[in-house]
């Protein structure tokens, strides 16, 4: 994954993993009329409000494509398990992958490993997986005997414009869920997914058909975080949407190479 978009993912993950306890949802309050402030860093403009989700509405969002990132090597579980995956082994890992201590790759690996070692907070499930087999094991553990379904965002057109106005071309469909896990790709020399989720109704999932100004079509999966009261007060989404912490759900489209498991 491109390094720049990695920053964004880290930001989404960090902030969204906070506050998964306290099931009491903030119901949708009347909108405060603060103007929105798109960020000059275009890649941060991924957020919208739950009240934006209606047929015919236009939303201006940045949607990363996985085409502009370098393909990441997918390891088998055996291969992945043979390489240490811990922050304490970073010096050894840098040598192993031939990255200098001061390289951007070293910094990205450090951030990923740190992120993966943060302990989950009450009720939250959080784990990093380094192979598809490990991901399947993780979902079996989380969902038990229930077979989870999977959702991803799909770009249906060959030409993709990263930042543009999209019109919602079909009535958004809510996907009923009781358990959700989102797995985000992380910057690392091979495929690492940071998966986190929880049981209950802290998040709502929607299928949203988007039509771009350039006529492209996207079948997007949007997630709305219903309770933002425990997020960082300065979370960039609040400024972009003109809302205060806890006053309104915050939604974003799931990036293209991420995976949402739900039951």
Segment 55 to 114, residues that bind ligand NAG, using CB under 6 A = 60
Q: Cβ-count burial of 100 within 10 angstroms (0-12 exposed, 13-18 middle, 19+ buried)?
A: exposed
| Residue whose CB is less far from ligand NAG, 73 or 173 | 173
| Residue whose CB is less far from ligand NAG, 99 or 163 | 163
Could you give the C-alpha distances from 43 to 57, 62, 129, 133, 239, in angstroms and in order? 21, 6, 26, 31, 14
| Residue whose CB is less far from ligand NAG, 60 or 229 | 60
CB of 149 to ligand NAG, least distance (A): 11
| Residue whose CB is less far from ligand NAG, 63 or 135 | 63
* Beta-carbon contacts of residue 138 (< 8 Å; ≥ 6 apart): 127, 129, 181, 195
Beta-bridge partners for 219: 154, 209
The tokens describing 200, both together, are 């209950």
Q: Is 46 helix (H, G, I), strand (E, B) or coil?
A: coil
| Residue whose CB is less far from ligand NAG, 26 or 60 | 60
Strand order in the sheet with 179-185: 124-129, 193-199, 179-185, 259-262, 149-151
| Residue whose CB is less far from ligand NAG, 145 or 176 | 176
Count CA atoms within 13 Å of residue 195 on its CB side. 26
CB of 68 to ligand NAG, least distance (A): 17
CB of 141 to ligand NAG, least distance (A): 25
Strands 193-199 and 173-175: unpaired
CB of 59 to ligand NAG, least distance (A): 9
Q: Does 176 bind ligand NAG (CB under 6 A)?
A: yes
Cα–Cα dist 129/11, whole Å: 19
Stretch 144-173: interaction string toward ligand NAG, x if CB under 6 A: -------------------xxx--------
What does the binding site for ligand NAG look like in residue numbers (CB under 6 A)? Answer: 60, 163-165, 176
């Amino acid at each position: 994954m491109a390094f720049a978009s990695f920053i964004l993912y880290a930001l989404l993950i960090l902030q969204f993993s906070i506050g998964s306890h306290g099931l009491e949802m903030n119901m949708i309050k009347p909108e405060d009329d603060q103007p929105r402030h798109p960020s000059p860093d275009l890649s941060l403009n991924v957020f919208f409000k739950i009240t934006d989700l209606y047929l015919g509405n236009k939303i201006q969002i940045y949607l990363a494509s996985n085409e502009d990132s370098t393909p990441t090597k997918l390891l088998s579980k055996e291969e992945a398990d043979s390489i240490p995956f811990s922050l304490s082994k970073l010096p050894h890992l840098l040598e192993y992958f031939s990255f200098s201590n001061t390289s951007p790759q070293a910094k990205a690996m450090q951030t990923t490993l740190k992120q993966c070692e943060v302990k989950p907070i009450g009720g939250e499930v959080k784990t990093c997986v380094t192979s598809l087999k490990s991901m399947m094991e993780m979902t079996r553990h989380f969902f038990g005997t229930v077979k989870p379904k999977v959702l991803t965002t799909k770009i249906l057109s060959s030409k993709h414009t990263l930042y543009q106005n999209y019109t919602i071309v079909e009535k958004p469909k809510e996907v009923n869920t009781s358990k959700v896990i989102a797995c985000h790709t992380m910057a690392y020399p091979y495929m690492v997914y940071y998966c986190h989720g929880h049981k209950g109704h802290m998040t709502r999932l929607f299928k949203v058909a988007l039509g771009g100004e350039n006529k492209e079509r996207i079948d997007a999966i949007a997630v709305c975080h219903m309770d933002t009261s425990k997020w960082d007060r300065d979370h960039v989404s609040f400024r972009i949407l003109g809302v205060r912490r806890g006053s309104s759900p915050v939604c974003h489209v799931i990036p293209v190479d991420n995976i949402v498991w739900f039951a």
